[in-house]
Amino acid sequence: MTTSSLSSLRELKLAGMASAYEAILSTPMDKHPEAHELIARLVDAERQNRTHRRMEMYLRLSKLRYAVTLQDVDCSPTRNFSKQQLSVLSDIAWIGRGENVLITGSTGCGKSHLACALGNHACTMGQRTLYFNMNRFCEQIAVAKAEGSVIKWLDRLKKARLLILDDFGLQPITHPVKLLLLQILEDRYERAATIIVSQLPVGKWHEYIDEPTVADAILDRIIPKAHRVELKGKSLRKRSENLSS
């Protein structure tokens, strides 16, 4: 009977329950839990297994550039990033409130690294996350347009509780990309969170977008509800090159 129950659990895709049940069956009979405890343990195992699988799936689909966690983030006055700022962002409530994070600073100071650590944390907390650098973002728009699947692509983005746009401001963007960006930000406004990473200080974004009306509309959807992180310090890229030479 136990073998048949085990295979039924697997057939029903209750892998967590099946493993927990198998583990219990491998213990001596007098150590087997009572019915209520058994059910509680199996349900708990199934829940944990599903949470873990979902987290792994979100991490895989997020396409984060760096596999880093919040523990890898340096907080220091020289970086202009405090433990208190990290603690505010570690509480994913800001994602639930649909707030944004704008990370700026010069090249190599660790902006993408920080954004990816926040993205990794969001995935582990069950928040669907998507990472793009602006190049890939523009490429995907071009592909979606060519395939006639822009609406589907936008729907995929809408499902992300956290969207990370890296290297914003590095290269000029076309008018159609600006309009799609505006639409994406409108879809997310007060519903879902966005992290924007840029070498350009926020004060220069309007000039970068270079079309006053569109720039007003885009910035009005991201700046008012944003946590600002202005990283300082030398390039960590140079530091790691020096260390390895």
| Position 202 contacts ligand ATP (CB under 6 A) | no
Binding segment toward ligand ATP, per CB under 6 A, in 33-41, 67-75, 93-101, 182-190: 67-75
Residues paired with 198 in a beta bridge: 104, 168
Q: Give whichever of 213 and 242 is closer to ligand ATP, judged by the CB atom.
A: 242
Nearer to ligand ATP, 42 or 164 (CB): 164
Could you say which of 60, 158, 204, 237 contacts ligand ATP (CB under 6 A)?
237
CA 74 to chain centre: 19
Contact between 76 and ligand ATP by CB under 6 A: the answer reads no
| Torsion, CA 224, CA 227, CA 230, CA 235, rounded to 10 | -130
Instruction: Using CB under 6 A, pick the residue from 51, 90, 140, 199 that binds ligand ATP.
Output: 199
Q: How many beta carbons lie within 10 A of that of residue 81, not counting itself?
A: 24
| Residue 204 binds to ligand ATP (criterion: CB under 6 A) | no
Asked if 22 and 6 touch (Cβ cutoff 8 Å), the reply is yes
Q: Report residue 30: phi and psi, to 5°.
A: -70, -5
SS3 101: strand
The binder of ligand ATP chosen from 110, 119, 169, 233 (CB under 6 A): 110
**How far apart, in whole angstroms, are the C-alpha atoms of residue 166 and residue 187?**
19
Site mask, ligand ATP, residues 150-169, x = CB under 6 A?
-----------------x--
Residue 49 near ligand ATP by CB under 6 A: no
Judged by CB under 6 A, the stretch of 21-29, 70-78, 187-195, 209-217 that binds ligand ATP is: 70-78
Q: Are 46 and 13 in contact (CB under 8 A)?
A: no
